[in-house]
Amino acid sequence: MEIIASHGVMLLTLACIFGLFMAWGIGANDVANAMGTSVGARALTLKQAILVAAVFEFLGAYLAGGEVTSTIRKGIVDPALLADNPQLLVYGMLASLLAAATWLAVASVKGWPVSTTHSIVGAIVGFAAVGISVDAVAWGKVGAIAASWVVSPLLSGTIAFFLFVSVKRLILDHEDSFARAKKYVPMYMWLVGFMISMVTLLKGLKHIGVEADFGMGSKFANAMVPSLVIGGVVAALGALLLHRIHTSGKDVNSQENVERVFGVLMIFTACAMAFAHGSNDVANAVGPLAAVVSTVQSGGEVGSKSGLPWWVLGIGGAGIVVGLATYGWRVIQTIGRKITELTPSRGFAAELAAASTVVLASATGLPISTTHTLVGAVLGVGLARGVEAVHLPTVGVIVTSWVITLPAGAGLSVIFFFTLQAVFG
């Protein structure tokens, strides 16, 4: 208690700096999961992708990021074991932020697409198990998170596979493919609008004091009403844009013309994926930051139930945007162009599948890895065309980087934890 009372301002300052550094790392590395497919499919230029992601990553982090944040903040370390030594929790969260951010910085410079969720969870487990005791870790929660790292790529890959198959059967495999694209693509656009609206109304807006209530009884039913309308508006807007597409060449049903329709669709799915990514992955930066803020502001009370300050999510969102604008292009190249050849129709299926998986995870509070989700979705699209369409050596490098991430985060966290303990006492 005395340490927190005497060094509270310094600890809060370090927490904000490390949290911003971590958010920067998320933007520089993990944001490729939101934008890599759009750039790889050439539906968006790199500058356009940065602009789209800057808006929707921040909105996702600020409006819908709190549900996952509570899982990272309260679920992994048992606060009861730290009640008498709250400074250990503060040191541990600071060490975890700095460790994960450092690893992400190294990976981003190298262009390795690693998991920010792996980084921060590994770091928290590392400091807790070595710096406090093995009993301080809620291993059941860790096991559930670890299981999600396997489930998420399988789920997103399966969704992407069937989405692309539906696109092929409804649109691409027909002689009048251009007309069918204009007919069926608004249906996919409705799905994007509906999905993002649902997660925002169910889990997000409560953080800014807004809650949907249309007198429908359950919270889910209340969210359904505006989501159906919002999905319809998105579909109508998409249909309007599609009718303005001008065909090129004599063959209106050529591959080029059909893919131009999906290029319009990818703008919507890119927005959805950026929103979904921001809502899920902001927890990796602001979760430990929120734990430090809560503990310091309460005078050392561990496990305080005080609400998440609005500016904490703001720091996370701003850091993600800056990281994307500075170093995001390196990992975007790896995700978008080196796993499998992407076209707008393939990229759409991958993005919508990944966004759906991430939004579901954000709505249920399960911190999945967006990297695993997107790579699984891209693989699903590639496998829908045959194993030979996937560049397996690239997949091998990506998986190797995933394996290294957990021990790297844990090891760095232990070093930084004991360093902070030595400095502050």
**Segments making up each domain of the chain, as ranges:** 2-424
Confidence (pTM): 0.80
The Cα 407–Cα 416 span in angstroms is 14
> How many other C-beta atoms lie within 10 A of the C-beta of residue 215?
7
Residue 189, amino acid: M
Burial zone of 425 (CB within 10 Å; 0-12 exposed, 13-18 middle, 19+ buried): exposed
The Cα 272–Cα 263 span in angstroms is 14
Determine the pLDDT at residue 19. 87
Determine the pLDDT at residue 71. 54
Is 209 within 8 Å of 63 (Cβ atoms)?
no
Rg (CA), the chain: 22
CA distances from 366 to 223, 370, 398 (A): 20, 12, 23
The Cα 28–Cα 51 span in angstroms is 14
Displacement of CA 12 from its chain's centroid (Å) = 25
Look-up of token digits 């759409």: 348
Is 121 within 8 Å of 369 (Cβ atoms)?
no
Compute the CA torsion angle 43, 46, 48, 50 (nearest 10 deg).
130
> How many other C-beta atoms lie within 10 A of the C-beta of residue 271?
24
CA distances from 71 to 145, 361, 376 (A): 10, 11, 23
> How many other C-beta atoms lie within 10 A of the C-beta of residue 14?
18
Longest dimension (CA), the chain: 79
Residues 378-410, buried b or exposed e (16+ Cβ, 10 A)?
bbbbbbbeeeeebeeebbeebeebbeebbebbb
Query: In degrees rounded to 5, what are phi and psi of residue 340?
Result: -155, 160
The tens-digit pLDDT sequence of the chain (425 residues) is: 677 778 878 988 898 899 899 989 988 888 776 788 888 888 888 888 888 888 888 887 777 666 665 656 557 777 677 777 788 888 988 999 999 999 999 998 888 888 888 888 889 899 889 888 888 888 887 887 777 778 888 889 999 999 999 999 999 888 888 888 888 988 988 988 887 777 667 655 555 555 656 556 676 777 788 889 999 998 998 888 877 777 766 676 777 888 888 888 888 888 877 887 777 677 777 778 777 887 787 776 765 444 566 777 777 778 888 888 888 888 888 888 888 888 899 998 998 888 788 777 766 666 677 788 888 999 999 988 888 888 889 888 888 888 888 889 999 999 999 999 999 87
